[in-house]
A and B are shown apart, each in its own frame.
Chain A
Amino acid sequence: MSKIHVSTTVNGDATEYLCEPTSSLLDVLRDTMGLTGSKEGCGSGDCGACTVVLDGEMVCSCLVLAAEAEGRTVATIEGVAEGSVLHPVQQKFLEHAALQCGFCTPGFIVAAKALLDRNPNPTETEVRYWLAGNLCRCTGYDKIVRAVLDAAAELRQERTPA
């Protein structure tokens, strides 16, 4: 079977690639485009380490066929910071030591940003359920949840200047 040509937008840049019909979006991001920030922890949608935003909704990129991305927009961890300026979620992850090994971190940050983009004032329970699709084995989630809640508070302050 010949490869499929796909035109899509990744982190704001118009992009083209060739992919196998069965390649996942994650495979293409990592192996074809060199965007290795999205991780493969399971390949079955159970760990969330490959979380990206596809047309505005967060998804596991291991469960999206690369061919499906034709004409769509993809946002990955590599596009979360604006240049060298970290997004508040990234900054709070650092300040709260919300990562140990860091392997799950890109998925958590993409997911947390997706939450705060639609819910600027989540409760702890809402944060925990929203992030339930992202496995972390190092932290016990405590500092991650605190970082997300703190990032939410900071974003609210930014949005409502005194």
Chain B
Amino acid sequence: MVRIVVMPPFDKEFFGEFINDGRLDLAPHNLFDLVEKLEALAPGFAAIAPARVHFAVDGVLETDWTRELAQAQEVIVLPRVGGG
């Protein structure tokens, strides 16, 4: 199981009822799989994820969603910040 921590605004926007102790426990094999699993919980998440979401795997932002999560402890789902 990987600990999935969903940061605002996505916690309340999508997953409010599923989050216990600030976390979800899922077993995704990579980040694409995670998006699919989150979409199953909250339809609409997958559509906005590429534009609005960043993932951090064990504390490091990861832009490669094929990244294997077999060894990962924690994935943080946080808002993507745009630059100028």
- Do A and B interact directly, with beta carbons closer than 8 Å? no
Binding site for B on A (CB under 8 A): none
